Amino acid sequence: MQAQNTDTQTQEMELTLVLIKPDAMKLSLTGYILSQLSEFHTALRFAGAKIVHVSRRLAEEHYAEHRGKAFYPALINYIMGKSHYPDQPQRRRVIALVYSGPNAVSTVRRIAGPTNPHHARETAPGTIRALGTVVLLKDAQGQIIGERLDNLIHASATPEEAEREIKLWFCPTDIMPFMRIYPTDYSQEHYYLSGGQLTTTWTPGSRCAIAAGELAWKSDLETLHLWRSGKPTSISLDAVIAKYLINTEQIPAE
Ligand code: GTP
Ligand code: MG
């Protein structure tokens, strides 16, 4: 097992997840957002980065806390890129970034601004979300049935949320070793994915998600261990496997 960091080191090397959402990609605001978050402005450093075609499984796990709310279906379509690229699935993507440094979570939240772009424009001009849009959602008859907050970026709200989200989007080896602050361990088992489902036995067409001897999040290995013993898990299995399925589909499923 890897040596763990001390609490002080962990605070100095706090991690946070940023997603540059599909509306920011469409508006070509990536460069602006990256410069707002640059080390020069924030004293934060890149710890991980990837371009992700967001699956429904990943979207639903990321926004699990909003499941059941009226705006949830529109939120899932938004983060999957379906709202901004309805006819161009090949352009549906987000940039997922992990930043590391002192007070990373609160620093990025301050620069991101309030959740609602209208509120951001009124109360926090100059923040990234002040450049966002509120889109009215209408039914087939043209009646307004809700709104979608196109707020350009996601930023973790607390260090605990950052840990859950970073482990959802990134494998340990996606994050450079000096900046990994969550416990990891080497898997003692092989885990395979077959048709999007987890198995412990290889069958034709399945592929390896985690090999025995491979580095994984310790909390994921604990979840997998419980799953293998038929016990209930506090972390969903979808949250464990979503990151191993990122960008694996040859043709987008939907
Ligand atoms: P994220 O960084 O995206 O997580 O936003 P947040 O932490 O500022 O807000 P929260 O986690 O509560 O909500 C996640 C996303 O759901 C927001 O970015 C919005 O797009 C959407 N959302 C949250 N609250 C509302 C709401 O009251 N109405 C609508 N229409 N959308 C909402
Ligand atoms: Mg949030």
Atom of ligand 1 nearest to the CA of 154: 2
The answer to whether the CB of 23 falls within 8 A of the CB of 134 is no
155 lines ligand 1 (CB under 6 A): yes
Distance CA 118, CA 130 (A): 7
- Does residue 140 form part of some domain? yes
- Does residue 31 form part of some domain? yes
- Does residue 69 form part of some domain? yes
- Does residue 114 form part of some domain? yes
What's residue 188's pLDDT? 97
Residue 118 annotated among the catalytic residues of the structure: no
- Does residue 254 form part of some domain? no
Enter the DSSP assignment of 198: E
> Which residues are in the CB-under-5-Å shell of ion ligand 2?
157
* pLDDT 10s digits, 65-97: 999 999 999 999 999 999 999 999 999 999 999
- Does residue 68 form part of some domain? yes
* pLDDT 10s digits, 142-198: 899 899 999 999 999 999 999 999 999 999 999 999 999 999 999 999 999 998 889
Helix ranges (H only) for the chain are: 7-12, 22-26, 30-36, 39-42, 56-62, 72-79, 104-112, 117-123, 159-169, 218-228, 237-241
- Does residue 175 form part of some domain? yes
Domain holding 123: CATH number?
3.30.70.141
- Does residue 211 form part of some domain? no
Domain count, the chain: 1
Atom of ligand 1 nearest to the CA of 146: 30
Its domain, for residue 127, covers 10-182
